[in-house]
Every structure is written in C-alpha cells, then in structure tokens.
C-alpha cells in the first residue's frame, strides 16, 4: 500500500525537477486527511506554494458549473431531454457543417434538435474556437465581430451570436470538447434569473465557506495568484507570456461555464467533499446523491467513446460534465468504477469517489501541464492509501 509519505516524496520530486510548485489534499468523510505543499508559487520571488496560494481552475470550473446546473434540474427548472431552444430560441434550427466526397464544404439543416443533455455531455457539436474546421473558424469570426462591436461583452450576448455557427455533426452523435458548458452556464442564468457568478456565490461558495473562489479578482487575491510557468526547449521554467489574468479583471462582464474561476486547494477540496459525501457537507444539503449518480453515469455511445479516449482518459466515459471511471483495467487505474472528476488546462486535477466518501485535489500552474505524467502518479498514490 502507499502512504502519505509517498505522496509527499512525489510532490517534492515534482517541485525539484518538473514544476515550480504544487499542492495536494486528500479528504474523507468530510475531513481533510492529508494536505501538502511543495515548491514555489513564484520562483523568481521565492514565494512558497501554500494554503493561501490561488490557482486558475480553467476546466475544473466545469465540475462546479454542471453541479450548479443539476441543482436547478432538481428544482424542476429544466429537463435534460428538453430542446435547447426552449431556453435559447436562437438554436431552434441548427445547421450542420458537412464535407462532400470531393472535399467541398457545405452546410445543411440538422435532422434532430439540440437537447439540453447534449450541452452537458459535449455532444452539441460546438468546439472551442480553432482554425481547423468550418465550425471552429465560424466561432472565431463570431467572437471577432463581437469584440469589434462591443469590446467586452457578456455570456448571453455570445451565446445568442454563436447560434449562427454551423455545428460540427448531427446533435448527439459524437463527442467534441468545447463550448457546451458555456451553454450550461447560460442555462443557469436563464432559469435562475441570476448571473452565473451570483448563483455560484449564493448557492455554493458562501454556504460552503469557499471564500477564495470566484470569477473576478477581489481583495488581495491578485497578490496570491500562482505564477503560470512554461518550459523552454532546454527544460528551464520561465513565466508564461500570458498569465491569463485578463479574464479575472473586476470589470470583465463575461463569466464562462467552461473556465474562468480561480480557487485555493482548501476551497476546492471542500467542494469535492460535498459531492463525495452524497451532496451534504457539515449537515447542509446541496444536491441529492442520486443526482450526483446521474452526473457520473456515462452518457456516451461507442462512437463517442472513440472520440473521447486518449492515454490520459483511458478507462473513463463522460457523464454530465465529468469524466467517470468505467473500466479501471483499461485505464490501468486503481480507482473504483464511478470515480469522477475533471482536469484544468494549467494542471489542476479533481478526483471524487462517493463509494469511499473520498476525494483528491491536486494543483499546479504550468503550460503545457504534462497531465499524464503528473496526475496519474498522484492518482495511484492517493487511491493506494485507502
């Protein structure tokens, strides 16, 4: 079996030869059982990684967003099989990008409607913006036009404009990581009557005591942010050209669903324990345990699983905004079936296991994040301690 000392040794190894610094916590039955910090949040100024260090969550925002939306599902505000157009009429007649045998690109009307569940499970055909596809280029064009027209703009404005974009495939037929959770965040706003940031603050962050988690900088948060590092070809760590802080500006009106939150290790482990303990934390109920089970139930068919799998995600399926372990042998993982979570672009990682009322949260800030190397080793030790 592994021990907490093994985890500490691994983190110290990371901080000495592959990262500036990192943090990790394990929690069980509502209590932190292991917490450690290694290396530096700021190498140049020798600021240690510690409990006050704030990290950009990027896609680990998605787990919070989808949990918040499913809290509203429990209140009868929407159903997963509802057409998306019930909430966003602009999506009533989606067009699909196609390619003829001779390579000619064209669009035609979708045969089936976009459903709410498709935006949760990344089956809506909208990627992140990229120049490599008709859909990706069209999304880039929409964002460029919005910037030219408004400068800064909010989520609802962008969602309406993105309805012009031809989706990449017939709704529900493939997995394509991207814009789906922006639509989930927009849905939260539509059915709650609040901005997504306000809803998260009132319904999750404040009740859980997550005092350092938000979209926009406040107080001394900017001075506590970990520096984002990149590696030179020689392997030297240097501050990244962009620190991604513009999204957190206090006057930024855009609150995303797929990224955009910052947090500390302790805040996120608190959130993860709420989910690990059946939706209840310190006696307060947030979400039903069977709704959590629905979130971590695979939503993908065989074609979608082929789209989804890579060495980092082997063994997993994808539920309502989270990866979910289906086949530990296929993933060479010692996590049980049903373990779930997600990862952030800069190296944050969450793993939640309701069967054990256990969760593991790990954070570093580096691009590329070298997730396969760092996270799977943390995972092996964390679950070896049980």
pLDDT tens per residue across span 136-176:
999 999 999 999 999 999 999 999 999 999 999 999 999 99
Please state the rounded mean pLDDT for residues 359-365: 98
**C-beta separation of 175 from 164 below 8 A:** no
Comparing CA positions, the residue from 292, 294, 328 lying closest to residue 313 is 328
Domains 4-73+194-384 and 80-192 share a fold: no
Q: Is the pLDDT of residue 363 over 90?
A: yes
Q: Give the model confidence (pLDDT) of 293-347 as tens digits.
A: 999 999 999 999 999 999 999 999 999 999 999 999 999 999 999 999 999 999 9
CATH class of 4-73+194-384: alpha beta
Give the DSSP H/E element, type plus range, for residue 24: strand 21-28
Within a 10 A sphere around the Cβ of 292, how many other Cβ atoms? 26
Q: Is the pLDDT of residue 102 over 90?
A: no
* pLDDT cut 70: percent of the chain above it: 100
Write out the two tokens for 104: 């000619």
User: Rounded to an integer, what distance in angstroms lies between the CA atom of residue 22 and that of residue 16?
Assistant: 11
**C-beta separation of 155 from 256 below 8 A:** yes
Please state the rounded mean pLDDT for residues 251-273: 97
pLDDT for the residue numbered 104: 84
Q: Give the model confidence (pLDDT) of 202-260 as tens digits.
A: 999 999 999 999 999 999 999 999 999 999 988 899 999 999 999 999 999 999 999 99
CA 171 to chain centre: 22
At 381, the pLDDT band (50, 70, 90 cuts) reads very high
Q: Is the pLDDT of residue 75 over 80?
A: yes
Tell me the three state secondary structure of residue 89: helix
Please state the rounded mean pLDDT for residues 271-297: 98
The correct answer on CATH 1.20.58 for the domain covering 80-192 is yes
**C-beta separation of 280 from 274 below 8 A:** yes
Average pLDDT of every residue of the chain: 97
Q: Is the pLDDT of residue 1 over 80?
A: no
At 100, the pLDDT band (50, 70, 90 cuts) reads confident
Torsion angle in degrees (nearest 10) through CA of 75, 319, 379, 209:
-20
User: Rounded to an integer, what distance in angstroms lies between the CA atom of residue 375 and that of residue 46?
Assistant: 25
At 31, the pLDDT band (50, 70, 90 cuts) reads very high
| In the chain, domain spans | 4-73+194-384, 80-192
**C-beta separation of 40 from 49 below 8 A:** yes
Q: Is the pLDDT of residue 200 over 80?
A: yes
Q: Is the pLDDT of residue 14 over 90?
A: yes
Tell me the three state secondary structure of residue 202: helix
Angle at 169 between CA 168 and CA 175, to 5 degrees: 90
pLDDT for the residue numbered 105: 86
User: Rounded to an integer, what distance in angstroms lies between the CA atom of residue 47 and that of residue 181?
Assistant: 34
Tokens 């959130």, residue? 271
What's the full length of the chain, in residues?
386
Q: Is the pLDDT of residue 5 over 90?
A: yes
Cα-flanking dihedrals φ and ψ of residue 113, to 5°?
Answer: -75, 155
């Amino acid at each position: 079996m592994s021990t907490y000392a093994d985890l500490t040794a691994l983190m110290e190894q990371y901080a000495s030869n592959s990262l500036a610094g990192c943090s990790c916590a394990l929690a069980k039955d509502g209590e932190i059982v292991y917490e450690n910090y290694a290396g530096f949040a700021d190498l140049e100024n020798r600021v240690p990684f510690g409990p006050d260090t704030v990290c950009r969550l990027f896609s680990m925002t998605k787990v919070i967003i989808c949990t918040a939306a499913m809290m509203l599902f429990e209140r009868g505000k929407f159903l997963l099989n509802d057409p998306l157009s019930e909430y966003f009429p602009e999506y009533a007649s989606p067009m699909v990008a196609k390619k003829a045998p001779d390579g000619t690109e064209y669009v035609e009307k979708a045969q089936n409607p976009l459903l709410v569940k498709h935006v949760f499970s990344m089956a809506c055909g909208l990627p992140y913006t990229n120049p490599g596809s008709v859909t990706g280029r069209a999304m880039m064009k929409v964002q460029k036009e919005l910037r030219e027209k408004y400068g800064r703009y909010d989520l609802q404005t962008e969602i309406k404009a993105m309805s012009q974009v031809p989706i990449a495939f017939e709704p529900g037929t493939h997995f394509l990581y991207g814009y789906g959770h922006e639509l989930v965040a927009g849905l939260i706003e539509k059915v709650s009557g609040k901005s997504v940031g306000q809803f998260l603050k009132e319904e999750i962050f404040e009740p859980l005591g997550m005092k350092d988690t938000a979209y926009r900088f406040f107080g001394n948060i900017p001075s506590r942010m970990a520096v984002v590092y990149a590696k030179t070809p020689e392997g030297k760590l240097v501050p990244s050209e962009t620190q991604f802080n513009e999204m957190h500006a206090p006057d930024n009106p855009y609150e995303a669903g797929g990224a955009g939150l910052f947090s500390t290790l302790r805040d996120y482990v608190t959130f993860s324990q709420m989910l690990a303990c059946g939706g209840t934390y310190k006696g307060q109920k947030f979400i039903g345990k069977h709704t959590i089970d629905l979130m971590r139930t695979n939503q993908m068919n065989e074609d979608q699983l082929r789209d989804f799998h890579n060495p980092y995600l082997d063994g997993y399926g994808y539920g309502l905004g989270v990866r979910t372990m289906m086949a530990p042998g296929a993933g060479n993982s010692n996590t049980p079936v049903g373990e779930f979570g997600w990862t952030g672009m800069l190296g944050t990682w969450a793993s939640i296991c309701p069967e054990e009322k256990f969760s593991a949260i790990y954070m570093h800030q580096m691009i590329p994040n070298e997730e396969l190397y760092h996270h799977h080793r943390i995972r092996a030790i964390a679950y070896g301690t049980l």
